Amino acid sequence: MCGIAGWVAFERDPGAERSAVEAMTDTMACRGPDAEGVWYGSHIALGHRRLAVIDLAGGAQPMTAEEDGEVAAVISYSGEVYNFAELRNRLRSAGHSFRTESDTEVVLRSYLEWGTDFTRRLTGMFAFALWDARSRELLLVRDRLGIKPLYYYPTSDGVLFGSEPKAILAHPEARARLNSAGLRELMTWVNTPGHAIFDGMFQVRPGHLVRVARGEMTETAYWGLQARPHDDDFDTTVSRVRALLQAAVAGQTVADVPLCSLLSGGLDSSSVAALAAEALRPSGKPPLRCFSVGFAPSGEAIPVSGGSPLTDDAGYAAKLAGHIGAHHESLVLDAKLLSDPAARAAVLRARDLPQGLADMDTSLYLLFRSIRQRSTVALSGEGADELFGGYPWFHDEQATRAQTFPWMYAAGAGAARAPAFLDPALPERLSLDEYRADSYADAVAAVPVLPGEPEHDRRMRTVNHLFLTRFLPMLLERKDRMSMAVGLEVRVPFCDHSLVEYVFNVPWSMKSFDGREKSLLRAAMAPDLPEPILTRKKEPYPTIADPAYDQLLKGRLGELMDDAGAPVRALMDEKSAAEAFATVQKASPEELRFLRVGFESLIKINDWMRDYQVELAE
């Protein structure tokens, strides 16, 4: 998978400031524990940390390509291009020769053959920096769905870039600065494409390419969802969906290291695991290994093999594993593990931001840490809910007709009842309502239009687009950070762009033909899954219900409230914070669990501001 970092400076020589480049690259060690390298050229430094997955011996980076004995291009690459074997054959026919078996060299040679149009030929998840030594320009490229992250920070004479903000912030010219625009983004769930929270920092948007030349920086889209008529009948659509998913899963089982599958026993993960087991069966490799997570009361055993009666997920997962001939293990977590300061600090450090899903982030991190002891690559069912309409919001007409993001409409009532630790005047001062409304209008304006489409289908296309372009990227970033923090590569077959393009244009009436969530996916996977899995109602990612967890967090909150120097106090109002704390103090265990999201978020923001030495702009 790997982590990348680098610096282009057209008025300086980054090679003369190697300590800065090495510090940036070192921050990516978690993403690439197997090897490291830095390449220096005129005005450019490319850093790389490698997680070896394909061509373990020959895929070292940064990688160069020569023409006429001179370096023509250099790449620092993160990700996997699944169609690299096909592209390599085409490139060989065009006269290119290869010295490795890696997909990295295929990407590099593809650029030399087809120029910037090469991005359209790549199938996979990737983010990379490619330096054209002939024209002295840098290309920053991100995959179509934004599975792999890539950030950049323009400077007075060039740009800093990296897989994660921490790589950029390790450079002395970058500052962890939070202005009003960053606060607005931090306090909402609008997830503006390209926004990076930190002042002066940006993300390369999914399906985009950023070109950096002397005195010039441009960003262009090479892919986006398009509205097209769907002419296939129902049976053809079902068959086509299964074929596309089958091809995506099979293509993503290619690895020169141990591979496993995440398995909750729900429809999404079970579909991926079943098709992966099918794809691996002819290879003669050992049975597919599958992993799930569950929770136990404080003090109970942690690792459990073969499923656990403590969680519904483990039972369903074990049933599916038996059906497909896979080996299943369940990791059971308790309050002590989830509240461990070291684990929580690792999660914050992985994310670089206080955004997240509270204990669900920590449990995912701990699950991935355990999996990494057994496998290097894991398959995941992420993306199915957004693509096939799995969330309750898709089936709530009030939510789909609300003039806001559906996930905000559903959360509105709960947020209004929660006590306010942050200054209650902040939303008005930052014009958060206006910001949400403007962001929603921008998101809707980006939805492609199909002439003559019925109103209901048009509305559901809009909802589908919002989830794919605004909601899914948040979950993909979460999964990338929690997995790469322990050097685990997670692949997401439901985000295969061919599958996404096809299903996006299937009319909603066909996607929900029997009135259930993900009806079309259920129909497509009916031949492969046992009935209990196929008919299981969607359940959210599990969260801990142990009162001990909330009591431990409550103790952390008390420490924060007693700390007059806590950085987050700059965003708090003393009176309202005291009232909120009093509410938490007298809350019952059931009420405390409801209040958890608010005060756990406050703790996380404070830790972030302290650890990253965040500056608040006036």
Active site residues per annotation: 2
Do residues 381 and 529 make contact, with C-beta atoms less than 8 angstroms apart? no
Give me the helices (H) in 485-588, please.
497-504, 508-511, 519-525, 531-534, 547-562, 574-585
- Cα–Cα dist 299/309, whole Å: 16
At 72 the three-state DSSP class reads strand
CB 618: neighbour CB atoms within 10 A?
4
Q: How many CB atoms lie under 10 A from the CB of residue 2? A: 30
User: Of the candidates 256, 166, 159, which has an alpha carbon nearest to the alpha carbon of residue 485?
Assistant: 166
* Helices 341-351 and 472-484, packing angle to 10 deg: 120
Alpha carbons 277 and 275: distance in angstroms, whole number: 5
Mapped onto helix, strand or coil, the DSSP state of residue 245 is: helix
Q: Are 530 and 568 in contact (CB under 8 A)?
A: no
Query: Which phi and psi angles does 306 have, rounded to 5°?
Result: 75, 15
The single residue listed with the structure tokens 């920070």 is 153
Residue count (the chain):
618
DSSP state of 288: P
Contact 323, 573 (CB under 8 A): no
Extract the tokens encoding 568: 């987050």
Residue 67 β-bridge partners: 70
Rounded Cα distance, 410 and 391, in Å: 11
Estimate to the nearest angstrom the gap between the alpha carbon of 148 and the chain centroid.
7
End-to-end CA distance of the chain: 39
Tell me if 145 sits within 8 A of 497, measured CB to CB. yes
Which tokens sit at 248? 């995506």
- CA–CA separation, 593 vs 308, rounded Å? 24
DSSP states along 99-139: S---HHHHHHHHHHHHGGGGGGG--EEEEEEEEETTTTEEE
Residue in 405, 382, 509, 390 with CA at minimum distance from that of residue 463:
405
Helix (H, G, I), strand (E, B) or coil at 341: helix
Strands 327-333 and 70-81: unpaired
Tell me which amino acid residue 363 is. S
Measured from the Cβ of residue 123, the count of other Cβ atoms closer than 10 Å reads 20
Task: With H, G, I as helix, E, B as strand and everything else as coil, classify residue 463.
Answer: helix
Q: Where are the beta strands (DSSP E) in 348-418?
A: 377-379
Half-sphere exposure of 202 toward its Cβ, with a 13 Å CA cutoff?
A: 18
